[in-house]
Structure 1
């Protein structure tokens, strides 16, 4: 998978196409479910030179399917497909284990998750998530739900993946006191949850109560820093470490970190104070702007 991510992108589209293995007129026999993808410019994962994005060879997604009630997440024993790992291999998605329809007449409902789960998921309404700032690709969790339902005779099955985590970007500029030679060694989000549970059926994220410090990755040295983060309330503090000294910016109110949106904080750093240039809240695109200032 290419390493350049975080461009304007919100929805990835995967199609589940159906291939029968026996007689198509048999309404009770199980049929294979195979996965293929058709991904346009509103997608995410690998970023091309023109800004479009796509899945790449070796990418893996988890797929779940069930019958019955679309609004009730089934227990593991009731799932028709339970965390089948689909790997993209030369433009073809290959499932392990092979996915089968329960029958040809029942309505099936689907959940897709990127990246794939390494372990079984006991409760689809409480999937565990732990942020790894060093692995931004896996940190950017995508969830797709097809709750309208499909039968084996109807294809393809459309899965539209949404970002369920948030993204925080901090852009820095410096006053003349630094003489243009400020050396930033770290930009940290302080007082932030880095764990959560995700309801895969509703795409709702519940942040853990425990708070920690999340170090933002370098987008452009001394200028821009970014990380996927857990959507949450109450976040206010950003620390910038310059030449061994910590400059702290504390927002008067909480800085919004919303599911599927990018929050951009522009800070002007001086020797004695940090001034807030603006806060942009973007759905991985354009959004509103908040202005204000604060002292170190």
Structure 2
């Protein structure tokens, strides 16, 4: 395996090259393919020819396939394994690396000499439950199951370091791959592990089976000396990364073990039972949230945004295909040639367009009332930790145009907003896209009061020669949610509350605004719309 930084490969679909040209692709006749994600700061990328073993348990008890070999090529793992014909049967898929012939392995041993055997010692596994047969690639989140030690050296001698060894650990683990757990095998004798050189005389690394152990660190130098130091007993966490900082002196070494200072995978952190898995990889312009990858973009003003819509579903909520239903979350939709709107439940469409959320669910499920509506400004809501639902001002700083607030005011310096265009008196969608924002035409589940029935907004972008062809037929009115309240609305006769309105980023696409105009307006909290999260400024 190639040594490098954390990666994620985009999902792709491979089908059998023997299929007849007129054969219809269905789950039952499609090849199973897996797109791998490796979490946190790993140094391994899968390369063409790398192999994993895959086991599929159908309906909880029937072994449909055991330890089937899949080979990495073009960003996915694939083999000759086809889906079973029972399309409604759910399965659990378990995959591991590196592949071993025979039955699914129940034990694994790290290499004693990791100067060349480091990659072969990096046991990883992934497990997905409730998987239905599909023509799409299955994304699987591979986790490191062992413990990584990084040895950082300060050399205060003339001689070079010839080797560094970690002595006294059990090299073999018993495996429960489905549960993604390993246990040191107490029946196996302890051994010595020679670390791999990352940078000579400076950095070394080794993989060890998780266990409670008092290691001995041994350093050999080119002048024939061997210096050793016993470390304090430490419980090495599965998936945890530890730093061992040493000073090599003429006749001694000083050692300090820093425990779990970085998380190699999520296994190094213990969160609350309801904590949603979240990992930032902003140096690679994405994050993982609830095991879904989202691309991000950092704009010229220093703010970091999701570069695609959110598709997270909070517990207890089910998206609806019926825009009249008060379900709080709705599927995206498309506008047909006859003007009809039809919800789409296709996975690819949902990933592209996102779900349409109303304000209550997006802001965390708390009821929004006339007395608390201003308390949600900058709320995290259903965004990941360290991110939040954008405020009116944050979008204003991008587009420079908004309707008045309840006091009749607008923020100053709109003409200095990042994407403000004087001709459009707002921002152009094309300008945001050129900066990597990746604007999507998700439309809006429109509602105009607290009690009225909702509907998908069905005005389509006209087939105008001045408007991008790719936009034709997509929803012309789209809203992106903010966390800033506008005002409650009351019936002028009865005085009863009829609506609560928040600000949203609204699009206008027509012959006048052929590149798409973005400005802020207000919209009912019952409306359903796309959600983009923005990173907290303190985190930026």
Q: Distance in 2 between matches of 1:45 and 1:87?
A: 20
Provide closer, same or farther for how the CA distance between residues 15 and 62 of structure 1 changes in structure 2, counting only shifts above 3 A. Answer: farther
Displacement of 1:280? 4.4
Q: Distance in 1 between matches of 2:48 and 2:55?
A: 21
Provide closer, same or farther for how the CA distance between residues 283 and 170 of structure 1 changes in structure 2, counting only shifts above 3 A. Answer: same
Structure 1 residues not aligned, in runs of 5+? 47-53, 289-296
Going by fraction, where is helix more abundant, 1 or 2? 2
Residue 210 of structure 2 is matched in structure 1 by 231
1:169 aligned to 2:150? yes
Q: Distance in 2 between matches of 1:41 and 1:66?
A: 24
Displacement of 1:17? 5.9
Greater Cα shift, 212-221 or 130-139? 130-139
Provide closer, same or farther for how the CA distance between residues 165 and 41 of structure 1 changes in structure 2, counting only shifts above 3 A. Answer: closer
Displacement of 1:212? 0.7
| Preserved contact between residue 19 and residue 33 of structure 1 (Cα < 8 Å) | yes
| Preserved contact between residue 154 and residue 248 of structure 2 (Cα < 8 Å) | yes
Going by fraction, where is strand more abundant, 1 or 2? 1
Number of residue-to-residue matches in the alignment = 255
* Cα RMSD after superposing both structures: 3.3
Provide closer, same or farther for how the CA distance between residues 183 and 55 of structure 1 changes in structure 2, counting only shifts above 3 A. Answer: closer
Provide closer, same or farther for how the CA distance between residues 37 and 128 of structure 1 changes in structure 2, counting only shifts above 3 A. Answer: same
Q: Distance in 2 between matches of 1:57 and 1:35?
A: 14
Q: Distance in 2 between matches of 1:43 and 1:280?
A: 16
Residue 141 of structure 2 is matched in structure 1 by 160
Q: Does the residue aligned with 1:152 lie in a helix, a strand or coil?
A: coil
Relative to the length of structure 1, the TM-score reads 0.73
1:77-156 residue pairs with structure 2 within 5 A? 78-91=62-75, 93-96=77-80, 98-121=81-104, 127-132=106-111, 133=114, 134-147=116-129, 149-153=130-134, 155-156=136-137
Provide closer, same or farther for how the CA distance between residues 92 and 230 of structure 1 changes in structure 2, counting only shifts above 3 A. Answer: closer
Residue 224 of structure 2 is matched in structure 1 by 244
Listed one character per residue, the Cα deviations across residues 108-142 of structure 1 (whole Å, up to 9, x for unaligned) are 11111122222222xxxx62211122322221111
Provide closer, same or farther for how the CA distance between residues 189 and 153 of structure 1 changes in structure 2, counting only shifts above 3 A. Answer: closer
- Which residue of 49, 53, 71 maps to 1:58? 49
| Preserved contact between residue 166 and residue 258 of structure 1 (Cα < 8 Å) | yes
Q: Does the residue aligned with 1:106 lie in a helix, a strand or coil?
A: coil
Relative to the length of structure 2, the TM-score reads 0.42
Displacement of 1:220? 1.7
Q: Higher relative contact order by CA 8 Å / sep ≥ 6: 1 or 2?
A: 1
Residue 32 of structure 1 is matched in structure 2 by 30
1:207 aligned to 2:198? no
